[in-house]
Amino acid sequence: MKEFLVEITTQVPEGTPAEEVDRRRAAEAVRARELAASGRLARLWRPVGELRSIGLWRAADEAELRAEVLGSLPMAPWMTAVVTALEPHPNDPGVRS
**Could you give the number of structural domains in the chain?**
1
User: How far apart are alpha carbons 72 and 89 in whole angstroms?
Assistant: 30
Q: Is pLDDT at 67 greater than 90 in this prediction?
A: yes
- Assign 96 a pLDDT band (cuts: 50, 70, 90): low
Distance CA 60, CA 89 (A): 19
SS3 for 95? coil
3-state secondary structure of 70: helix
H/E/C letters for each residue in 10-69?
ECCCCCCCHHHHHHHHHHHHHHHHHHHHCCCEEEEECCCCCCEEEEEEEECCHHHHHHHH
pTM, whole model, 2 decimals?
Answer: 0.90
| CATH code, 71 | 3.30.70.1060
Segment 9-26, tens digit of pLDDT: 999 999 999 999 999 999
- Which residues span the domain enclosing 47? 2-86
Domain for residue 82, yes or no? yes
Give Cβ neighbours of residue 35 (< 8 Å, ≥ 6 apart).
Answer: 41, 69, 72
